[in-house]
């Protein structure tokens, strides 16, 4: 993982009224640190699509205008990075993954998110549905900047932030769970911050 870049303003203790919102081993940050597994991706919107695949075949696909036309919602969420920083009450806007997955007929139990730049990460379908995950394209009232995963990233705030894949371009539906990029390098297969599931032996 690359070094922390601008946006990291150091550690601070949890303020009064936030007890129970910061997982064990985490500290709060006022900034929004930028960490990636490779170079920042820049995809022109007229070339961007999001697709759902199974067995290598495309089941559904949306262009940028088609994604923008879908029902969207504003999300307030606490986010937690595996590098031990947390940020509370972040503001996002995007489309529920429920909406996108409802467009296909599948009983697969897992998904692999795939992204520009070659990044992948695995997730159980149950963690992408029931209002637990979004395809997010705005942050703090503005279009999501490339350094934070724009034009769109997954937002799965109940898991460590590496599961909220930047520059996401789709999900591949899987019958069995399979490790993604960081998972093959020893990160936890699931990544629950409240259980401190940072690495494979946690």
Domain ranges of the chain: 48-76+91-195
Cross-strand pairs, 154: 135
CA 32, CA 34: separation in Å to the nearest integer? 6
Kindly report the number of other CB atoms within 10 A of residue 23's CB atom.
16
Q: For the chain, what is the mean pLDDT?
A: 92
**pLDDT at res. 2:** 38
Q: Does position 83 have pLDDT exceeding 70, yes or no? A: yes
| Nearest by Cα to 140 from 132, 128, 148 | 148
Mean pLDDT of 115-142: 98
Per-residue pLDDT tens over the stretch 146-178: 999 999 999 999 999 999 999 999 999 999 999
Q: What are phi and psi of 91, to 5 degrees?
A: -115, 125
Sole residue written with tokens 């934070």? 148
Give the C-alpha distances (Å, rounded to integers) separating 126 from 55, 110, 132, 174: 20, 8, 8, 13
Q: Does position 35 have pLDDT exceeding 70, yes or no? A: yes
Q: What are phi and psi of 51, to 5 degrees?
A: -130, 155
pLDDT band, residue 78 (cuts 50/70/90): very high
Q: Which of 18-32, 107-121, 161-175 has the lowest mean pLDDT?
A: 18-32
**pLDDT at res. 12:** 54
Domain 48-76+91-195: top CATH class: alpha beta
Q: 0.85 exceeded by the pTM?
A: yes
**pLDDT at res. 202:** 86
DSSP designation for 153? E
- Which residue spans within 43-181 are E strands per DSSP? 49-54, 57-63, 73-80, 85-96, 110-115, 120-124, 134-139, 142-143, 153-155, 168-174
Q: Does position 126 have pLDDT exceeding 60, yes or no? A: yes
Judge contact between 111 and 132, C-beta under 8 A: no
Q: Does position 26 have pLDDT exceeding 50, yes or no? A: yes
Rg of the chain taking only CA atoms, in angstroms: 16
**pLDDT at res. 196:** 98
Contacts of 61 (CB under 8 A, 6+ apart): 49, 50, 51, 52, 170
Q: Does position 97 have pLDDT exceeding 50, yes or no? A: yes
**pLDDT at res. 18:** 75
Contacts of 26 (CB under 8 A, 6+ apart): 80, 84, 85, 86, 193
């Amino acid at each position: 993982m690359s070094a922390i870049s601008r946006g990291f303003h150091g550690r601070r203790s949890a303020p009064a009224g936030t007890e129970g919102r910061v997982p064990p081993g985490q500290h709060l940050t006022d900034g929004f640190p930028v960490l990636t597994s490779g170079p920042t991706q820049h995809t022109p919107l007229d070339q961007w699509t999001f697709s759902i695949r199974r067995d290598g075949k495309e089941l559904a696909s949306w262009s940028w205008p088609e994604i923008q036309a879908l029902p969207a919602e504003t999300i307030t969420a606490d986010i937690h990075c595996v590098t031990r920083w947390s940020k509370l009450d972040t503001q996002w806007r995007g489309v529920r993954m429920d909406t996108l997955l409802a467009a296909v007929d599948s009983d697969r139990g897992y998904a692999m998110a795939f992204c520009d730049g070659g990044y992948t990460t695995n997730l159980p379908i149950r963690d992408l549905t029931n209002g637990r995950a979004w395809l997010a394209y705005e942050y703090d009232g503005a279009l999501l900047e490339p350094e934070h995963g724009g034009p769109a990233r997954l937002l799965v705030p109940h898991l460590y932030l590496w599961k909220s894949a930047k520059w996401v371009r789709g999900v591949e539906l899987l019958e069995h769970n399979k490790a993604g990029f960081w998972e093959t390098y020893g990160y936890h297969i699931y990544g629950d911050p409240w259980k401190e599931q940072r690495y494979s032996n946690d």
